[in-house]
């Protein structure tokens, strides 16, 4: 049998499903509860992510209001910022504030569409001709920025028997993707002549340099004004990321396009942004205690003996490490919440284990629930962990392993 791209995707998806643990709804996961895995009930020590839908929906409302009630294109790229792209889309799909979704990878856009998402999905990346056809066939909106696009899209339109929905991707200075603004006008005029192409919107990305962002926005607006003077409609303009929603109100334009703040993390300046509009962390990163032991004076912990007990002290081991996406730099001050108490991370975060110091008494037992990141205490908030460890908050979310089970509460 000939291997087409669609067959390949479906075969890969089936294989991924057989290897990874899917998402389940689970009402109340406490320290003594069981977790449903692959249709059976069993005790679980391995780490998992709890996804908190109401918090994510709350955050979408906050960003919508903060932008002056502009429609939201919810960015679900990079595995939905660690929480699962389909999870994120399903949580937000029925909200009236949500105008649609955006992702960069072809497979993600098609998978989300096939999962039954009703709102439009915007593909913000490059693709092969075959992929562009698959995207358009699945009613995914295309970002276009290449001079050859008119010919390709007219061909796709002829095959699908309908115009292709597009957004014009303008590079105003990020120099990452898009057609450079200074040579975009002739290209826009050419695209606008085609009856096979619907221009639904136009967009750009900011560098997040406050002064240069102003120049970037001016470039997009000037280009839009030139197009309008030629009776060309560039569609609804969108530029504002989470950072711009908080710090650059003028950039909200016709729609906003936030990502990380939908999931409860502040994009740049946590204390300042929390005062502007507080968010709710949209997930918990959990594991269970697998070992409790008392160290003697002089005993060391983990590789290199980076922690040495100065007196007898109790420690606990958690079966989660940097291979799961937990911070290597957690020993710079991160703490873990167990039974309502915070315990510092010590030693060295290895690929599969993290050690916490319990103090003089073993107030923790094997099987107790440990939350490493989440909404339950300011010291395990992702933005706080970002600050104390010098790690990008984007890394804290997006570097969580895609293989971690996700429980949608």
Spatial separation of the C-alpha atoms in residues 70 and 260, rounded to whole Å? 17
Burial bucket for residue 351 (CB in 10 Å: 0-12, 13-18, 19+):
exposed
Cα torsion 224, 230, 234, 237 to 10°: value is 20
Asked whether the whole model's pTM tops 0.95, one would answer no
Task: Please check whether the domain covering 53-271 is classified as CATH 1.25.40.10.
Answer: no
Two domains, one topology: 53-271 and 283-408: no
Q: What is the length of the chain?
A: 409
Q: Where are the domains of the chain?
A: 53-271, 283-408
The tens-digit pLDDT sequence of the chain (409 residues) is 333 444 444 444 433 433 333 343 333 333 323 344 433 334 678 999 999 999 999 999 999 999 999 999 999 999 999 999 999 999 999 999 999 999 999 999 999 999 999 999 999 999 999 999 999 999 999 999 998 899 999 999 999 999 999 999 999 999 999 999 999 999 999 999 999 999 999 999 999 999 999 999 999 999 999 999 999 999 999 999 999 999 999 999 999 999 999 999 999 999 999 999 999 999 999 999 999 999 999 999 999 888 999 999 999 999 999 999 999 999 999 999 999 999 999 999 999 999 999 999 999 999 999 999 999 999 999 999 999 999 999 999 999 999 999 999 9
The angle subtended at Cα 213 by Cα 210 and Cα 217, nearest 5°, is 145
CATH class for the domain made up of 283-408: mainly beta
């Amino acid at each position: 049998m000939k291997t087409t791209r669609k067959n390949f995707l479906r075969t890969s998806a089936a294989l991924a499903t057989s290897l990874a643990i899917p998402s389940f709804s689970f009402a109340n996961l406490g320290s003594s509860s069981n977790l449903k895995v692959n249709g059976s009930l069993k005790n679980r020590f391995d780490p998992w992510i709890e996804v908190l839908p109401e918090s994510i929906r709350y955050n979408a409302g906050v960003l919508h209001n903060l932008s002056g009630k502009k429609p939201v294109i919810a960015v679900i790229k990079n595995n939905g910022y660690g929480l699962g792209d389909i999870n994120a889309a399903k949580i937000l799909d029925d909200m009236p504030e949500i105008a649609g979704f955006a992702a960069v990878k072809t497979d993600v856009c098609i998978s989300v569409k096939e999962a039954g998402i009703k709102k439009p999905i915007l593909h913000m990346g490059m693709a092969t001709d075959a992929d562009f056809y698959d995207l358009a066939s699945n009613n995914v909106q295309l970002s276009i920025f290449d001079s050859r696009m008119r010919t390709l899209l007219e061909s796709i339109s002829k095959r699908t028997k309908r115009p292709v929905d597009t957004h014009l991707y303008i590079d105003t200075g990020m120099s990452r993707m898009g057609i450079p603004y200074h040579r975009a006008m002739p290209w826009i005029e050419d695209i606008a002549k085609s009856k096979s192409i619907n221009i639904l919107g136009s967009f750009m990305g900011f560098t997040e340099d406050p002064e240069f962002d102003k120049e970037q926005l001016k470039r997009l607006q000037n280009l839009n004004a030139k197009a309008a003077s030629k009776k060309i409609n560039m569609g609804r303009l969108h530029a504002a990321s989470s950072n711009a929603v908080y710090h650059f109100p003028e950039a909200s334009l016709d729609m906003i396009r936030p990502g990380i703040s939908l999931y409860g993390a502040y994009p740049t300046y946590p204390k300042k942004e929390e005062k502007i509009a507080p968010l709710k962390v949209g997930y918990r990163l959990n594991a269970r205690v697998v070992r409790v032991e008392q160290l003697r004076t002089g005993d060391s912990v983990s590789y290199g003996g980076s922690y040495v007990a100065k007196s007898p002290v109790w420690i606990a081991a958690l079966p989660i490490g940097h291979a799961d996406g937990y911070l290597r730099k957690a020993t710079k001050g991160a703490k873990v919440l167990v039974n309502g108490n915070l315990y510092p991370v010590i030693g060295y975060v290895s690929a599969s284990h993290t050690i916490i110091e319990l103090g003089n008494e073993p107030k923790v037992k094997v099987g107790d629930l440990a939350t490493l990141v989440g909404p339950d205490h300011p010291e395990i908030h992702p933005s706080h962990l970002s600050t104390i460890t010098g790690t990008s908050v984007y890394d804290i979310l997006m570097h969580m392993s895609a293989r971690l089970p996700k429980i949608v509460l």
